[in-house]
C-alpha cells in the first residue's frame, strides 16, 4: 500500500469512528411513547415494585403507563432556592415545553441531597421524561401536594396568581405548561390522602397556611378553574385518623391496600371521562 492509500484508509477509518460515535449519541436513548405519564412524589416514584401505582394502573387498563414520579418533590418552588426544586413539577413542565432539560440534568442529587431511595433512579427518570413523545400521550396524571403542605408552601399569592413559590401559582403554571407540551392529553390531578406524622394529623396540623385538608380542598378549586380532572383521594378514599394504619404503612406512604383504593378512584374517573 502506497502512502496516499494509507492516508486515505486512515481518514476513512477516522470518519467511520466519528459516525459511530454520533450514532451512539444520537440514538442511544429511543423515543418513548407511553399512553399515560404518571408524575408524583415518593408515593409514586419510590415504589418500583409490581404493586406500584403506575404498574397497577397499567394492569387494570392495558395502557402503557410510565412512572415519572420523583421522591421528595412537590408542585411549587421552595422560597429557599433549594436545588431539589429543579425536580418540582414547575421545572419539569417548563423543561417539557422548552425541550430543554439541561438545568435539571445539572442538578445531580448526589451533589446536595443524600437520599438513597431516589438517587438510584432519578437521573434515568429525567432522561426518560426528556425522551417521551408527549404529542401522543393520552393521559397525564399528577399526584403532588403533600410535600408542598409539609414544606409550608403558601397556598396562594393575592398579588400574583402565577407565583411559583405558592401552591396555586405552581399549579396554574404547571397545568398551562402541560397543556402546551401534551395538547392531546387529558390531565388528571390527585389530591393528597389523609396523613399522619409525628407532628400530628393532617386534618388538624397547620404548618402556616392551612391543614392538609385545606390544601386538598383548594386543589379541587384549582382543578375546576383550570379545566382539568380531579380525583379526591382525601375524601373519597375513606382514609382517616381511625383507620390510616390499614392504608398507610408509615403514616405518609400507601401500602398495597392504599394503592388499590387510589387505583379504583382513578379508574372511576377514567370511566366518567
| Tens digit of each residue's pLDDT (9 = 90 or more) over 22-66 | 444 444 569 999 999 999 999 999 898 999 999 999 999 999 999
So what's the pLDDT on residue 78?
85
CB burial string 29-60: b at 16+ within 10 A, e below? eeebebbbbbbbbbbbbbbeeeebbbbbbbee
The pLDDT assigned to 77 comes to: 92
pLDDT score of 121: 86
**pLDDT one-digit tens code per residue, 176-209:** 999 999 999 999 999 999 999 999 999 999 999 9
What's domain 33-272's superfamily in CATH?
SGNH hydrolase (3.40.50.1110)
- Predicted TM-score (pTM) of this structure: 0.87
Q: How confident is the model at residue 252 (pLDDT cuts 50, 70, 90)?
A: very high
Give 93's contacts (C-beta < 8 A, 6+ positions apart): 173, 174, 177, 178, 181
**Distance separating the N- and C-terminal Cα atoms of the chain:** 72
Under the banding of pLDDT at 50, 70 and 90, the label for residue 82 is low
Q: Grid coordinates representing 83?
A: 436545588
Domain boundary assignment for the chain: 33-272
Among 53-62, 82-91, 227-236, name the one with the lowest average pLDDT.
Answer: 82-91
Whether 174 has a pLDDT exceeding 50, the answer reads yes
- Distance CA(158)–CA(224), nearest Å, equals 19
Average pLDDT, the chain: 88
Asked whether residue 273 carries a pLDDT value surpassing 60, the answer given is yes
**Mean pLDDT of the region 68-83:** 83
Q: Is 24 helix (H, G, I), strand (E, B) or coil?
A: helix
Quick one: pLDDT at residue 267? 98
Strand positions, DSSP E, the chain: 36-40, 65-67, 139-143, 186-190, 196-197, 200-201, 229-231
pLDDT at 125: 92
pLDDT per residue as tens digits for the range 5-15? 544 544 455 44
Sign of CA dihedral 172, 177, 179, 185: negative
Q: If DSSP codes are grouped into helix, strand and coil, which group holds residue 108? A: coil
Amino acid at each position: 500500500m502506497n502512502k496516499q492509500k494509507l492516508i486515505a484508509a486512515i481518514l476513512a477509518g477516522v470518519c467511520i469512528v466519528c459516525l459511530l460515535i454520533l450514532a451512539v449519541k444520537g440514538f442511544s436513548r429511543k423515543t418513548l411513547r407511553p399512553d399515560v405519564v404518571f408524575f408524583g412524589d415518593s408515593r409514586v416514584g419510590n415504589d418500583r415494585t409490581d404493586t406500584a401505582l403506575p404498574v397497577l394502573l397499567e394492569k387494570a387498563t392495558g395502557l402503557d403507563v410510565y412512572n415519572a414520579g420523583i421522591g421528595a418533590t412537590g408542585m411549587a418552588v421552595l422560597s429557599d432556592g433549594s436545588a431539589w426544586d429543579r425536580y418540582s413539577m414547575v421545572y419539569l413542565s417548563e423543561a417539557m415545553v422548552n425541550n430543554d432539560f439541561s438545568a435539571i440534568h445539572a442538578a445531580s442529587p448526589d451533589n446536595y441531597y443524600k437520599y438513597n431511595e431516589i438517587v438510584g433512579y432519578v437521573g434515568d427518570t429525567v432522561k426518560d421524561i426528556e425522551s417521551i413523545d408527549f404529542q401522543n400521550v393520552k393521559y397525564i396524571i399528577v399526584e403532588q401536594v403533600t410535600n408542598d403542605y409539609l414544606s409550608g408552601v403558601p397556598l396562594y399569592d393575592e398579588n400574583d396568581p402565577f407565583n411559583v413559590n405558592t401552591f396555586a401559582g405552581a399549579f396554574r403554571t404547571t397545568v398551562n405548561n402541560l397543556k402546551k407540551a401534551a395538547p392531546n392529553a387529558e390531565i388528571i390531578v390527585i389530591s393528597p390522602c389523609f396523613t399522619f406524622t409525628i407532628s400530628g394529623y393532617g386534618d388538624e396540623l397547620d404548618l402556616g397556611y392551612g391543614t392538609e385538608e385545606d390544601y386538598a380542598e383548594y386543589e379541587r378549586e384549582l382543578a375546576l378553574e383550570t379545566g382539568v380532572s380531579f380525583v379526591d383521594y382525601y375524601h373519597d378514599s375513606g382514609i382517616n385518623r381511625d383507620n390510616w394504619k390499614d392504608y398507610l404503612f408509615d403514616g405518609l406512604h400507601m401500602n398495597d391496600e392504599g394503592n388499590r383504593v387510589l387505583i379504583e378512584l382513578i379508574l372511576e374517573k377514567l370511566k366518567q371521562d
